[in-house]
Amino acid sequence: MRSRLAARHVAETFLIFVFSFIGLAAAYYGMAYKFNQEQQTGRLADVAQQLCALIREEDSIGAPRVVESMALLADTVDCSILLVDSKGRVLSVSGELPAPVAETLPSEVLALVARPGGFRGQLQGLFPAIEEAAAMTVSVSRGDITVLATGGRAAVEGMMQSLMSLFTTAAYGILALALTAIYFSIHRMARPLKSMSYAARRFGQGNFDVRVQVNGDDEMAELAMAFNNMADSLDKTEQMRSSFIANVSHDLKTPMTTISGFVDGILDGTIPQELQSHYLQLVSDETRRLSRLVNTLMDLAKFESDEVELKIGPFDLCETVRQVLISFERSIGDKRLSLDLSLSDEAITARGDPDAIHRVLYNIIDNAIKFTPPEGMLTVTVEKKERQALCSVCNSGDGVPEEDLPHLFSRFYKSDKSRSLDRRGSGLGLYIAKTIIDRHGGTIYAESEQGKSCTLSFSLPLHQSRPTLQGLVEQKGKGSRRGEGEAKEEEIG
C-alpha cells in the first residue's frame, strides 16, 4: 500500500534539499572563484618578480637568460608577458598580442601597472576581456622597465567548471541517498499508523479484539502502547456495557413478567378474590422496583451530562449519617446486623450538597448491607482528618477480591453474583457515588481484607468559617491590649 505520508515528506525534503543546495552552491562558487583568482594573481606576481630580478641581474632585457626565462615562465603559468618602457612602448612580448597593444600600452593602463609599489588584480582596457594581471617595475641602465604578466582567466574558469561539476555530482548522489533513506524511514514510521488506522476501523465495526504491534521504545511505540491501552479500556467498557444491558434487561423483565402474570391471573379469575389483595401488593412492590431502576438510569444520565446542579454549602455530616441509617433500620433489623456507630460529639461541618451526599451514603450503606451476612457487623465512622471530613463504612463478610478493587467504582460494574446475598441492583450505585464525590473535590476509595471485611471511605473538604467584622474588631482589640500589656511589662522590667 502506497504511503501518502512518506510521499509527502519525501517531496518536502526534496524541496528543502534543492533550495539548500542552491544556496550552498552559490556560496561555494563565490568562495572558490575568489580563492582561485587570488591564487592565479599570486602566480602572475611571482612571474613578474622573478623576471624583474633576472633583468636587474643581467641589466638587459635582451640577454639570453632573460629571453629563455620569459618564454619558459609564460608556458609554465599559461600567461602573456610584456616588457614595457616608461613611455608605454612594448619592448618584448611572449607570444602574440592583440593589435591595440602590439606597440604601445594605453596611457590609463600604463599609469595603472607602472606604479612604484607594483600592481596585482584585474586589468581592463588592454585585452578584449578582463584579465588577471600582475606588474612590477625594475630600473636598469637604459631606464625603467615594467614587467607585466597577464592571463590565466581561462584556467580559473576551467577550474571552476571542474569544481562545480564535482559538486553537482556529489549533491545529486547525496540527495538520492538522503531521499531514499528518508522514504524508508518514514515508511517504517507510518507502518504503526496504518495499523492503528486499520484497528480504528475495526473498532468502528464493533470488533475490539484488534491490537497494534509495539516495536522499539520511541514515541511511535509509546503511541502504539497508548492505543492498545485505549483498546483494552474500550473492550472492558463494552463488556461491562453488555453485562449492564443484560443485567438491566433481566431486572426489567423479571418484575414485568411477575406483574403481567399476577394481573392476568386476577383478570381471568385464576387467582381467587380473597388472594387478590396479596398479589396486588406484590404487583405494587414490583412496580416500585421498576421505578427505582428507571430513576437510577435517569440519574446516571444526568450526572454524566452534568445536568445535576449541586447546591454547595455547609452541613453536618454526622447528622446526615444518622438520617441515612434510620432509613435502613428495617433492613438492618431483618438481617439482625450489629451496628457500631462512631460519631464525633461535636458537629463535623463539611462543605457540599447535603442531598447529594445523602445519596452517596445511601448507596454505600445499601451496598454494605447487601454483602453483609446475617448477624454480621456494620461499622460507620465519621471523623476529622487533615482538614477533611472522613466517613468510612465497613461491613463484615467475604470482602472483595484484590483484582476487583480497581473496578469497584466503575460504570456498569457489578460484582460476582455468587458472592452477593442480595441479587438485586444494576451496578451503578457506587459509580454514581464516585461521580458525586469527584464533583465535590473529594476522594472515595475501597479497602478489603479477604474473608473478613470490606471498607468504603470517602472524604469531603471541611467548611472553613470566616470571622465576622465584629470578631475581627475584637481580635484587633485584644491584640492592642496585649501589646499595651507587653509594653508595660517592658517598662517595668
Q: Tell me how far apart the alpha carbons of residues 321 and 381 are, in angstroms, rounded to a whole number.
A: 9
The answer to whether 66 and 54 are in contact (CB under 8 A) is: yes
Q: Are 135 and 148 in contact (CB under 8 A)?
A: yes
Of 33-42, 282-291, 322-331, the poorest mean pLDDT is in: 33-42
Residue pair 6/183 in contact by the 8 Å Cβ criterion = yes
- Answer whether residue 328 shows pLDDT above 70: yes
d(C-alpha 34, C-alpha 43), whole Å: 14
| Residue 26: predicted pLDDT | 81
Q: Distance between CA atoms of 473 and 475, rounded to whole angstroms? A: 5
Confidence bin at 461 (pLDDT 50/70/90):
very high
Q: Which of 162-176, 239-253, 409-423 has the lowest mean pLDDT?
A: 409-423
DSSP letter at 269 equals T
- Report, as an integer, the average pLDDT of 329-354: 90
Q: What is the DSSP string of 41-85?
A: HHHHHHHHHHHHHHHHHHT-SSSHHHHHHHHHHHHHHT-EEEEEE
Q: Where are the beta strands (DSSP E) in 223-287?
A: none
* Strand intervals (E) in 251-296: none
Asked if the model's pLDDT at residue 2 lies above 60, the reply is no
Axis-axis angle for helices 4-58, 153-204 (nearest 10): 170
DSSP character string of 89-125: BEEEESS---GGGSSB--HHHHHHHT-TT-EEEEE-S
Q: Which helix (H) or strand (E) is 460 found in, with range?
A: strand 453-461
Instruction: Tell me how far the alpha carbon of residue 376 is from its chain's centroid.
Output: 52
What is residue 126's predicted lDDT score, i.e. its pLDDT? Answer: 66
* Cα–Cα distance, 84 to 97 (Å, whole number): 13
Query: What is d(CA 278, CA 275) in angstroms, rounded to the nearest whole number?
Result: 5
Strands (E), 295-421: 313-316, 338-342, 349-352, 377-384, 388-396
Query: Given a cut of 90, is residue 377 above it in pLDDT?
Result: yes
Nearest to 308 by CA among 324, 317, 295: 295
For cell 602572475, name the residue: 44
Bridge partners (DSSP) listed for residue 93 = 82
The more confidently predicted of residues 127 and 266 is 266
Long-range contacts of 322-327 (CB under 8 A, 24+ apart): 323/358, 324/358, 324/361, 324/362, 324/365, 325/365, 325/380, 327/362
Q: Please answer whether residues 351 and 313 qualify as being in contact, where contact means their C-beta atoms are separated by less than 8 angstroms.
A: yes
pLDDT in tens, 75-109: 877 788 888 888 888 888 886 555 445 577 777 78
pLDDT tens for 102-133 read 577 777 788 888 877 788 887 766 666 667 78
Contact predicate 228/220, CB 8 Å: no
| pLDDT value, residue 128 | 62
Residue 236 has pLDDT above 70, yes or no: yes
Q: How far apart are CA 483 and CA 437, in angstroms?
A: 46
**Mean pLDDT computed over 291-304:** 75
Contacts of 310 (CB under 8 A, 6+ apart): 352, 353, 356, 439, 440
- In 3D space, the residue among 27, 37, 17 whose CA is nearest the CA of residue 164 turns out to be 27
Q: Which residue has the higher pLDDT, 218 or 42?
A: 42
| Complete domains list, the chain, with CATH | 4-157 (3.30.450.20), 219-304 (1.10.287.130), 313-461 (3.30.565.10)
Residue 420 phi/psi, 5° resolution? -90, 130
Rounded CA-CA distance 116/280 in Å is 133
Residue 483 above 90 pLDDT? no
Question: CB count, 10 Å around CB of 167?
Answer: 16
Residue 251: all three cell numbers together:
431486572
Q: CA 83, CA 86: separation in Å to the nearest integer?
A: 10
Q: What radius of gyration, in Å, describes the C-alpha atoms of the chain?
A: 51
pLDDT level of residue 365 (50, 70, 90 thresholds): very high
Who has greater pLDDT, 344 or 342?
342
End-to-end CA separation in angstroms for the chain = 96
**Which amino acid is it at 254?**
T
* Of the listed ranges 65-74, 204-213, 310-319, the one predicted with least confidence: 204-213
Place of cell 583568482: 37
Q: Hey, what amino acid is at 371?
A: F
CB atoms within 10 A of CB 123: 19
Mean pLDDT is lowest, of 228-232, 348-352, 364-368, for 228-232
